[in-house]
Amino acid sequence: MTLRQPRHKAKIAARSAADFHATAESGDRLWDTLLGGFHLIRRASATSWRVTYRTEAGKQRTITLGRYPGLTADQARKLAHQKLGEIYQGADPVKERQLARQQEKHREQQTVEAYLDGPYKLYQARRKNGGETLKRIRRDFAAWLAKPMSELTRADVDRWQAEMEARGLAFSSLKRAYGALNTMLNVAAERGAISANPLKGIRLERPALTEEELAEATTSRRYLEGAEVMALFAGIEAYQAQRREERRRSRYHGKPWLPDLDQATYVDYAPPLILLLYYTGMRPGDLNGLRWEHVNLTFGTIRKVIEKTAHTRPEPQTFPLAPEAVEVLKAWHRQHDLPASGYVFTNPVTTGRYSSTAIHGPWRRIKAHTGNLVEQGRLEASLPPDLDLYTLRHNFASQLIMKGADLLAVSRLMGHADIQTTIEHYGHLAPDHKRDIVMRFAADTQALLTGKPAEHDDQVESNAADVELPVVSPSPVG
């Protein structure tokens, strides 16, 4: 039997199929002489069993039964008989397959918005908080609404999480939103809207604690003792003195172009930033992001959106400044030629804001200076090496409350989203007015019974809150 013709016929059996597979060239066909339309076709990559038929409309179509030798001649013949029988009954396998593919494509291309506003809306209508769930998905995944559900990927999740974190949303909020979306995708898969949840098994990456969160979690909320306050200001002064001395040496030894720090109020951004942290109690991140547009030096106020709570409270808040804080800002403003806009603390290298970790080096040096001053007998106490910069914020709130400030006012000065935060962390420091009232009541009762005038002890025992704090001078420290 010659097998070099592109088209040839034979009774297809195991032997003829093997010969064809071994010797045929790409494009050759072996047609069966017993079953019309049944044949083998040789391609460069494989040999396949096929059946060719005509539809009722007279169109010729071909379906593939399987590959040789995975499907033997006997198995292929039986399958061909079955398919041709179905075709004789009016079936059209090719058309059915095309229709199935179209339906699958349509199903897989169903967008998040289409399912959210269609079947899932009906599904959530039977649930107590279904309306809120629909709003959450639409709001938090607005950028995904036009995407086919089946095409969502891990990259989409990672990008979404990064964008939402940049907007200030807490990880717990992200988990709730992502959980709502995953539930919708699971329902869509169970109801056949998509073949499977494309995000199944993909979890949000729990972010590392930020500098502020780490400080909140690890730093005890303590205030500074009087001796520590003295050490803080002395350490800043010593830091400035050392930086000036270093600059003098640099200018003398071949770098005369460097600015003369002896003529500058502050040697760099660290002293004014730390002083403002002390006098305002603001978070380091908010001072890093402070712009001159936020500062009113005439009225002594800062008005800005608090970064940590911007997602829940996007409106700007106004914070009054003590005269000492105003003087710090005025001196820094003059030192930079009275800018009208831009960051108050601009990184000279990047011309943007400083990173959250840039202040760590100067802060370590300031604490080290206080230790040296104690060794020299010039200070009674030093700042502990592990004292976190965030303690200045805790000190601000603690000192105000111990001096009698009401919790609501302190809460607003701290920029807390809820007064409960202030009460939880600092409420125990508030003067115990309840005890004073009870003691006055008891003293008045004794006076009534004894006929003697009531004695009220109005003397307040001094403590760290009564320490007179030093006044900041913006003058250069030599």
Longest dimension (CA), the chain: 138
- In one-letter notation, the amino acid at residue 438 is V
Instruction: Band the pLDDT of 91: cuts 50, 70, 90.
Output: confident
Q: Is 395 part of a structural domain of the chain?
A: yes
Q: Is 389 helix (H, G, I), strand (E, B) or coil?
A: coil
CB burial of residue 122 (10 Å; 0-12, 13-18, 19+) = exposed
Q: So what's the pLDDT on residue 472?
A: 43
Question: In this model, does residue 241 exceed pLDDT 90?
Answer: yes
Query: Within this chain, do residues 304 and 379 fall inside the same structural domain, yes or no?
Result: yes
Higher-scoring residue by pLDDT: 409, 466: 409
Q: Is 65 helix (H, G, I), strand (E, B) or coil?
A: strand
Q: Is 441 part of a structural domain of the chain?
A: no
Out of 174, 207, 240, a domain closes at 207
- Judged by average pLDDT, the poorest of 30-44, 64-78, 120-134, 225-239 is 120-134
**CATH code: domain of residue 36:** 3.30.160.390
Query: Within this chain, do residues 296 and 420 fall inside the same structural domain, yes or no?
Result: yes
C-alpha count within 13 angstroms, C-beta hemisphere, residue 405: 19
Query: Within this chain, do residues 322 and 291 fall inside the same structural domain, yes or no?
Result: yes
Q: So what's the pLDDT on residue 107?
A: 53
Instruction: Band the pLDDT of 98: cuts 50, 70, 90.
Output: low
Question: In this model, does residue 243 exceed pLDDT 60?
Answer: yes
Query: Within this chain, do residues 368 and 404 fall inside the same structural domain, yes or no?
Result: yes
319: β partners? 302
Q: Is 217 part of a structural domain of the chain?
A: no
Out of 407, 424, 441, a domain closes at 424
Q: So what's the pLDDT on residue 215?
A: 54
Question: In this model, does residue 6 exceed pLDDT 80?
Answer: no
CB burial of residue 67 (10 Å; 0-12, 13-18, 19+) = middle
The pTM of the whole model exceeds 0.85: no
Query: Within this chain, do residues 312 and 341 fall inside the same structural domain, yes or no?
Result: yes
Into how many domains does the chain fold? Answer: 3
Whether residue 363 contacts residue 278, with contact meaning beta carbons closer than 8 Å, is answered with no
Q: Is 323 helix (H, G, I), strand (E, B) or coil?
A: helix
Instruction: Band the pLDDT of 179: cuts 50, 70, 90.
Output: very high
Question: In this model, does residue 285 exceed pLDDT 80?
Answer: yes
CA atoms of 226 and 303, how far apart (whole Å): 30
Residues 276-283 have a mean pLDDT of 92
Query: Within this chain, do residues 239 and 154 fall inside the same structural domain, yes or no?
Result: no
Q: Is 319 helix (H, G, I), strand (E, B) or coil?
A: strand
Residues 421-430 have a mean pLDDT of 74
Q: Is 374 helix (H, G, I), strand (E, B) or coil?
A: helix
- Which of the 8 DSSP states describes residue 341? S
Out of 84, 103, 122, a domain closes at 103
Residues 292-314 have a mean pLDDT of 87
- Judged by average pLDDT, the poorest of 5-9, 157-161, 201-205, 425-429 is 5-9
Dig out the tokens for 343 from the structure.
């960051």
Q: So what's the pLDDT on residue 431?
A: 66
Percent of the chain with pLDDT over 90: 47
- Whole domain around residue 19: which residue ranges? 7-103
Q: In what order do the strands lie in the sheet with 7-10?
A: 7-10, 29-32, 38-42, 47-54, 60-68
Q: So what's the pLDDT on residue 214?
A: 55
As a three-state string, the secondary structure of 183-195 is HHHHHHHHCCCCC
Residues 421-443 have a mean pLDDT of 73
Higher-scoring residue by pLDDT: 126, 282: 282
- Judged by average pLDDT, the poorest of 161-165, 292-296, 433-437, 473-477 is 473-477
Query: Within this chain, do residues 250 and 125 fall inside the same structural domain, yes or no?
Result: no
Query: Within this chain, do residues 95 and 150 fall inside the same structural domain, yes or no?
Result: no
Would you list the DSSP string of 98-165?
Answer: HHHHHHHHHHHT-BHHHHHHTHHHHHHTTSTTHHHHHHHHHHHTGGGTTSBGGG--HHHHHHHHHHHH
Question: In this model, does residue 155 exceed pLDDT 80?
Answer: yes
Residues 309-329 have a mean pLDDT of 87
Query: Within this chain, do residues 203 and 325 fall inside the same structural domain, yes or no?
Result: no
Query: Within this chain, do residues 268 and 415 fall inside the same structural domain, yes or no?
Result: yes
Q: Is 140 helix (H, G, I), strand (E, B) or coil?
A: helix
Question: In this model, does residue 303 exceed pLDDT 50?
Answer: yes
CA atoms of 262 and 248, how far apart (whole Å): 8
Q: So what's the pLDDT on residue 75?
A: 93
- Judged by average pLDDT, the poorest of 135-144, 166-175, 227-236, 272-281 is 166-175
Higher-scoring residue by pLDDT: 440, 465: 440
Q: So what's the pLDDT on residue 465?
A: 38
Q: Is 62 part of a structural domain of the chain?
A: yes
Question: In this model, does residue 252 exceed pLDDT 80?
Answer: yes
Alpha carbon 193 to chain centroid distance?
31
Alpha carbon 65 to chain centroid distance?
53
pLDDT, the chain, mean:
84
**CATH code: domain of residue 309:** 1.10.443
Residue recorded with tokens 């339906």: 103
Residue range 454-474, pLDDT digits in tens: 665 544 343 333 434 444 444
Question: In this model, does residue 119 exceed pLDDT 60?
Answer: yes
Query: Within this chain, do residues 193 and 255 fall inside the same structural domain, yes or no?
Result: no
Residue range 156-177, pLDDT digits in tens: 999 999 999 888 888 888 998 9
Query: Within this chain, do residues 155 and 268 fall inside the same structural domain, yes or no?
Result: no
CA atoms of 228 and 385, how far apart (whole Å): 12
**CATH code: domain of residue 149:** 1.10.150
Please list, in sequence order, all residues whose beta carbon lies within 8 angstroms of the beta carbon of residue 392, skipping any fewer than 6 positions away: 224, 274, 277, 278, 281
Higher-scoring residue by pLDDT: 409, 274: 274
- Judged by average pLDDT, the poorest of 130-139, 161-170, 215-224 is 215-224
Instruction: Band the pLDDT of 184: cuts 50, 70, 90.
Output: very high
CA atoms of 232 and 262, how far apart (whole Å): 21
- Judged by average pLDDT, the poorest of 123-137, 347-361, 372-386, 406-420 is 406-420
